[in-house]
Structure 1
């Protein structure tokens, strides 16, 4: 595809036929001087892949203001990935390799926020992630769901800055019913003299975008299922002459959906694509933030193996697919595919990438370390997932106060509640000076705030859903947190993530409740009261809630159909920053009581939870 086409800022669409021709254009022998003869021979192609980079350009933790490190001593960032890529290219020969990505690139760190909101790329600034990926030499990337967080204008600006195509076969333009982004690309690999290898790369993104970023895409884009679109486009790739078909899928391998049945297409469907769509050789998996070195899935129709690999997240790993081919009678066939992951903590950062991004990095570090207020005491989120914590009370207080200030009419007379999740166990607002990065660490997502109206019965149902996060316990006593939290459920086979557990808070009077772990899921909320009065089923409340949750993320009941009474599309993290900047001091006495508003119990006896 031409640079002019690739850099367009509009959401205008190419027809399917035009896309096929544009993608396949490099195959013309006259363009490359490649002959079409040649006898039988073998060849090994290597395809490298990243995913879920989430704004990690260099190995840096903006929230700790230090080089990134975790309990596994992983490293992050494109500068590390660049070194691994260079090593593979040196070993295999650059001409024998391709490099692709499976999405979620421009949201996740303060670097992403800065270049979307503070110095936005829509004003002409080049996104550091685009600059780094161009310098490393990516061949294609799929859209992730978080690409849509900052709106279509930012996404289109990012797309225009890339030297490679941004693929999304199942991101469909509402106006035309056709893909709004290039569905695929065919890359030509010259395997010596004679017939080149045509490598088709299909990009698929997550249907959940329609829910999670409804405000940004409603009426403009819709998102069909990965299996459904792969069944359309893989045959097109093969018809266009692709000898090898690789799918970059921003969708997890283990079939599940955080949004339940709110959409007819599963959130995590990579394995289903491998099983149900013939003609695929390998899938680079994304979205789930898991490490899969190699998973072999048998296609149900052909009986052939499809190899899946997922390189964890944030640039911590690089997936490497080795694809063995044989040329026979002028046609290349795939004989075998294997994969592995390389660990970024085994190599130094590429100094060329570090140097390229030095000015951008320093700008963002200065930004996040600016002092915006003080706190009378430390507010830690370390225990917020299993006990009432002032850190979440602070988030809920600011959210509820913001919604209440904008209510009118009869809604202004209703009590206001708020929900917040323990997004970041490592977050802590220190006593004394508070920097912007301290607040950003407490609320790490770019969610916006809404106010919705719920009944007392709906509030209780919401809390029952939240209480699924906890595992059952055999009796009263003391338990380690890991034996109580992150319960496995049918929709969370690897354990309910912290971000799908919500604490509910009352603004002008406490909302109090026990979570009785002696009871089955659905019957755990006990003694639910507002201001000491039991909550009646027909009572009415306004609830401050984030857009991810209100639009169906996590599958919480009642919220997607609840009346919306406030929606100004303001980011919650920015509300917290603005509140601290305006008030100057964070004092927990303003929003957090000495007695817990909620607690874990066993038949009325409080449980003791240890870290």
Structure 2
């Protein structure tokens, strides 16, 4: 297979049939008018996935829905669509777009950003795979900035297609620092061409989540506000069709609350408020939307929105029917669907291309770095104190404590905050590998140290405790009966990563969470080293950069004085700790310091 290779006819037809493809009904245009169908394929939130592989489990990827992941699977679907359309008469060549969050999320992505960074000359696996498949354009995601601007710019130069971000703007001039849009002229069989304008928009939350990287360099305008600026310019540049590739979710919500004047998830609002958009490739929220229509308030035209989930699990198809109206192409029909990657085999050309990179990373994550005396699991960490989360908090607090030695804050009690990112994570007893440790901390967050008062600590814990649903008794309950409560900023349920657990370094921080009480009045018995925490008490708190910069909109943390910020990844600190010590001994850091109660009675939660 070459860069734009296609499957054979029988194989292509079988692949599409298996993937759930449904041919949209043909549009019967008025007599004398030429009607053609333009297909735009799309992916989003690939997060470093090329292979159908779980590096933390060292096995093929699988989940409860038996999804498959990765660009190798996507490539097979793309080839099948291209082959089918190549056989149809009067059908333009399809386009292929991505809506961002490409270079972060797996050990494969981490390895070529931090262990053997692409700034040294290696081609990023995601760039190599996307070039092989033949993308036409991609939008920036917020996670593109995680590894710094040097890595991002190198990745951009390695791509054979533009990386778009109209609202990533120079701090001083407000001009875009990435191409805002691209025009693609698509030939129409039988003569002529359609000019497709592709506008890229990224998430304004980057200003919070990667503040240390972008502050003073790049500012991020609102999705709706910058679409108002750029959609008319794309039209004025000659676009017959305007597609927005937007790294923003469909429905209005913001994990950062009112910390920014722009909503995090604004694709639907953009379609409703900004005239001139024909379709939107939606991303960021990791939600599958095969087809949704929003009516633009000004024009009355429908806008098609499609979100192909995440990690290459789905391929979006946006099908636009066009007619010539007064010499210009106009969209007169819209259809959307998603194809399932678990129905096809991986493209062997993509697998061959990246096999060496994959094998290198598999070897790295499976390398042994120490021993663990007692098995630890995060399976129940969302509702009970576990050694697994105590380990994360211990490493964070220990690193900050050592870093502030000799400073005025060195005499303060040191605490740490961790969230149950990955309930599937576990560190076995016996030999421990990089992947065992890394599985406890699946994000590339860096460590920050701040100071907080006792009153602020109490407020923070109350906010975190909104994660739990209110109950009337002590149970027993299943986990879903008490966790992931909906809130105004998370109407579909608070994710595990927005529930924070505190731990003390040398002395215990003890508290109960009374979930029979209403949110805001749940924290009881808050004490440090056996003494009730007073409002004026002062603590050093180790926290990740996502939370400290405003992610989750937790109170006080964003404005808390920063006393440590060396931008060291927490996951790497954990790996370094095990490597240096040669062992993990839970007895040195694990204790039960918090619990769920209902009117003072311990709550019973049973997962099985």
- Bin the TM-score by the shorter chain: over 0.9
> How many angstroms apart in 2 are the aligned matches of 1:431 and 1:83?
40
More off after superposition, 88-97 vs 408-417: 88-97
Structure 1 residues 186-223: Cα deviation after superposition (integer angstroms, max 9, x where no partner): 10011124331001100000000000001110110000
Q: Secondary structure at the match of 2:155?
A: helix
Is 1:44 the counterpart of 2:25? The answer is no
User: What residue number does 1:496 align with?
Assistant: 494
SS of structure 1 residue aligned to 2:138: strand
Partner of 2:449: 451
Aligned partner of 1:79 among 65, 72, 76: 72
Return the offset for 1:328.
Answer: 3.4
Structure 2 residue 321 is the aligned partner of structure 1 residue 324: yes
Equivalence for 2:542: 544
After TM superposition, the structure 1 = structure 2 runs for residues 465-476 of structure 1, keeping only pairs within 5 Å, are 465-476=463-474
In the alignment, which residue of structure 1 is the partner of 2:565? Answer: 567
Q: Which residue of 1 aligns with 2:345?
A: 348
Task: For 2:103 and 2:80, locate their aligned partners in 1 and report how far apart those are by CA, in whole Å.
Answer: 26
**Aligned pairs (5 A) from 1:43-192:** 43-93=36-86, 95-192=92-189
Q: State the distance in 2 between where 1:610 and 1:283 align.
A: 42
Question: How far has the Cα of 1:410 moved from its partner?
Answer: 2.3
3-state SS, counterpart of residue 106 of structure 1:
coil
The SS at the match of 2:307 is strand
What SS does the aligned partner of 1:96 have? Answer: coil
Match of 1:405, SS state, is helix
Equivalent residue number for residue 600 of structure 1: 596
Tell me if structure 2 keeps the 8 A contact 1:41–1:328.
no
SS class of match (1:557): coil
1:138-173 CA-partner distances (Å, limit 9, x unpaired): 000000000000000000000000000000000001
Query: 8 Å contact 1:486–1:496 — kept in the other structure?
Result: yes
Shift of 1:532: 1.2
Equivalent positions of 1:409-428 (< 5 A) are 409-428=407-426
Q: 2:519 aligns with which of 513, 518, 521?
A: 521
What are the equivalent positions in structure 2 for 1:131-530 lying under 5 Å apart?
A: 131-407=128-404, 408-530=406-528
Q: Distance in 2 between matches of 1:205 and 1:329?
A: 34
Give the CA deviation at 1:40: 2.9
How far off is 1:80 after superposition?
0.2
CA distance in 2, matches of 1:116, 1:254: 32
> Tell me, what secondary structure is at the counterpart of 1:608?
coil
**Displacement after TM superposition at 1:95 (Å):** 4.8
Deviation at 1:381, TM superposition (A): 0.5
Cross-structure match for 1:553: 551
8 Å contact 2:37–2:92 — kept in the other structure? no
Helix, strand or coil at the partner of 1:471 = coil
Conservation of the 8 A alpha-carbon contact between 2:250 and 2:267: yes
Gapped runs of 5+ residues in structure 2?
1-31
The 4+ residue runs of structure 1 with deviation greater than 3 A are none
Structure-1 separation of matches of 2:310 and 2:464 = 26
Question: Alpha carbon RMSD of aligned pairs, Å?
Answer: 0.9
Tell me the equivalent position of 1:609. Answer: 605
Instruction: Say if 2:38 and 2:92, in contact at 8 Å, map to a contact too.
Output: no
Kept in 2: contact 1:195–1:330 (CA 8 A): no
Does structure 2 conserve the Cα–Cα contact (< 8 Å) formed by 1:144 and 1:206? yes
Residue 224 of structure 1, CA deviation: 0.5
Report what 1:21 is aligned to.
Answer: none
Query: Using the alignment, how far apart are the partners of 2:429 and 2:76 within structure 1?
Result: 40
Inter-partner Cα distance in structure 2 for 1:568 and 1:350:
41
Q: Could you tell me whether the CA contact under 8 Å between 1:44 and 1:96 is conserved in 2?
A: no
TM-score by length of 2: 0.93
Q: Which residue in the other structure is 2:23 paired with? A: none
